[in-house]
Structure 1
Amino acid sequence: MKPPMTYSKAGEQLTERFEGCRLQAYADTGGVWTIGYGHTHGVMEGMACTREQALAWLEQDTREAAAAVNRLVTVPLEQAEFDALVDFVFNLGVGAFARSTLLRDLNAGNLAAAAAQFPLWDHDAGRVLAGLLHRRLAEQMEFEGRTA
């Protein structure tokens, strides 16, 4: 059994960069109520939070994403690969990752095919979003060990 990996500072910075921090709840591009650094669980219209609460939710949410990556990925990972996957799971959700071709390719040992899957996840609510494609390309570069 492989030891669990933890999300690195570089990974956290990737998530923070793409999420940004908003202290007032807002409906994201898919209509999901969101607050802080992309936190969605239990968020309702009109909610507000402090920066400290936003950071606590971010740590909780990335810890859950990291646990999912550790549980679902069966092959050894480099830190950059793990970080890219945690950001991906944080943004997409565990269910989408668990059903993804990206995970199937990765667990089959086909890293190149897995990396090629990142840019395909650039839709929200049926629309291609430039910001989402930018994030997927940054995750792909991180996964491949290239600097963004």
Structure 2
Amino acid sequence: MKLSQEGFALLKKFEGCELSAYQDPVGVWTIGYGWTQPVEGRPVAAGMVITQDVADSLLGSGIVQYEKEVAGLLKVDVNQNQFDALVDFAYNLGPRALKGSTLLKKLNAGDYAGAAEEFSKWNKAGGKVLKGLVARRAAERTLFLS
């Protein structure tokens, strides 16, 4: 499966796009649509600036790894909306977080409703509840259930 346009819209809404590097709430240097990996071989760092085209390209090429990771973790069938919610979750938190989560365990056991209830538990960064993460998890849950 591939991330749908609705999935991209959700991700872009919550990530936002910053063309100048910034530190996220836990101090990780970030640029574009929440991008933390090297850009053209250079680590994201203070003073880095990219163009909108580069930000779009990073997201477009980078999302492929998250689609593959999510697909590889699934042992049950999911619909497009469920897949989109899971890819957004993995993009935001990393595939490792999804891999070790109760959300994935419940989903792979066929407990779709139970899996949906797990999204809201992932609302902290640096040990603090963040309003943006509360809203993002609620949006992912809603999408997952639709």
How would you bin the TM-score normalised by the shorter chain? over 0.9
List per-residue Cα deviations over 1:87-144 (Å, max 9, x = no partner).
0000000111111110100000000110000010000011000110000000000000
Residue 61 (structure 1) shift: 2.4
Asked whether the 8 Å contact 1:122–1:128 carries over to 2, the reply is: yes
Q: Which secondary structure does the structure 1 equivalent of 2:21 belong to? A: strand
Q: Say what the alpha-carbon RMSD is for the aligned residues.
A: 0.7
**Separation in 2 of the partners of 1:131 and 1:98?**
23
Choose which of 5, 15, 21 in structure 2 pairs with 1:9. 5
The CA distance in 1 between the partners of 2:62 and 2:128, in whole Å, is 25
TM-score normalized with structure 1 length: 0.93
Identity of counterpart residues, as a percentage?
46
- Residue by residue over 1:49-84, the C-alpha shift from the partner in whole angstroms, topping out at 9 and shown as x without a partner, is 000000011112221111111100110010000000
Match of 1:46, SS state, is coil
Residue 31 (structure 1) aligned with residue 27 (structure 2): yes
- Would you identify which runs of 4 or more consecutive aligned residues in structure 1 move more than 6 Å? none
Q: Is the 8 A contact 1:119 1:133 kept in 2?
A: yes
2:109 is matched with which residue?
108
- Secondary structure of residue in 2 paired with 1:41: coil
Inter-partner Cα distance in structure 1 for 2:61 and 2:101:
23
Paired residues, what number? 141
Q: Where do residues 45-124 of structure 1 align in structure 2 (5 Å cutoff)?
A: 45-124=46-125
- Residue aligned with 1:26, SS: strand
Q: Does 1:20 align with 2:16?
A: yes
**Secondary structure of the residue that 1:30 maps to in structure 2?**
coil
- Give the letter for the 1:121 counterpart: W
Q: Which runs of 5+ in 1 are unaligned?
A: none
- Answer yes or no: is 1:41 the counterpart of 2:37: yes
